[in-house]
Amino acid sequence: MLHFYSGKKQGEKSVLSQESSTGETRKTLPRMVSHSELRKLFCSADAVCFDVDSTVIREEGIDELAKFCGVEAAVSEMTRRAMGGAVPFKAALTERLALIQPSREQVQRLIAEHPPHLTPGIRELVSRLQERNVQVFLISGGFRSIVEHVASKLNIPSTNVFANRLKFYFNGEYAGFDEMQPTAESGGKGKVIKLLKEKFQFQKIVMIGDGITDMEACPPADVFIGFGGNVIRQQVKDNAEWYITDFVELLGELEE
């Protein structure tokens, strides 16, 4: 498997390492990836996968749920550490949900009373991609009930949603989350993209997102586009070969 080394800024060389069957790591020859090549890959993609929190929507869903349940401060700090790659994703998710303890009713009320806000330009971008017969997927470490609500606003079928499932007892109290979902662990987004390639024979998949977990999904994604329109993660900004702060830029690429 190819692993991203210290990524370079747009138009610079990418250095990749390859792990052999013996566990040794050897460097492959650096390959120049120009911005024009990245643009061509984006415009000819079979599928585009979006992260959701702080990318497709302006908020971090788990932070909004924590705010709704009265434990915002502690959970926001955990989210910041998790998105920066400081804590394994599943451990951070377990820890945060143990603090929030959301009931089914609280999740439903959050969606009804404080629905997530779409990031400017995302509706138009998704619509344009769909007009070009590009498959659009939402791959999120957030919660399926919230992500499906977002998907419905963008005319993305629920079958194209990959996210974590909350579990509840019969009385509606929090009972944990489905740890078997690939999105529940570090590297999960890459596993989903690998699955999509195997299932649909996609040749070119683009991953777009704001966080480390999104950047780590390339490879197996063929292109990663870092998004900083809602929040800038410095490590992503420094290492993404293509970094944008407005979806208008991608819409412009499709119109050319």
Domain spans of the chain? 35-59+117-254
The model's confidence at residue 39, banded by pLDDT at 50, 70 and 90, is confident
3-state secondary structure of 135: strand
Active site residue 53: yes
Catalytic residue from among 51, 63, 210, 214 = 51
Catalytic residue from among 46, 53, 210, 214 = 53
pLDDT (tens digit, 9 = 90+) per residue, 104-150? 999 999 999 888 899 999 999 998 888 888 889 999 888 898 899 99
3-state secondary structure of 161: strand
Average pLDDT score over the chain: 79
- Which residue type, as a one-letter code, is found at position 6? S
Options 3.40.190.80, 3.40.50.1220, 3.30.300.10, 3.40.50.1000; which CATH number does 35-59+117-254 get? Answer: 3.40.50.1000
Mean pLDDT confidence for 152-174:
91
- Which residue type, as a one-letter code, is found at position 116? P
State residue 25's pLDDT score.
39
Active site residue 46: no
Phi, psi of 244 (to 5 degrees): -125, 160
Can you tell me the distance from the alpha carbon of 218 to that of 33, in angstroms, rounded to the nearest whole number?
A: 14
Q: Taking a C-beta distance cutoff of 8 angstroms, is the pair 168, 104 a contact?
A: yes
Side-chain-side CA neighbours of residue 226 (13 Å): 23
Please list the alpha-helical segments (H only) found in 56-203.
Answer: 61-68, 72-83, 89-100, 104-113, 122-131, 144-153, 188-200
The model's confidence at residue 182, banded by pLDDT at 50, 70 and 90, is confident
3-state secondary structure of 181: coil
If we measure between CA atoms, which residue out of 37, 254, 229 comes closest to residue 136? 254
| Out of 98-107, 218-227, 229-238, least confident range | 229-238
Token pair, residue 222, equals 């063929």
The model's confidence at residue 161, banded by pLDDT at 50, 70 and 90, is very high
State residue 49's pLDDT score.
92
Phi, psi of 77 (to 5 degrees): -65, -40
Choice between 83 and 129, residue whose per-residue pLDDT is larger: 129
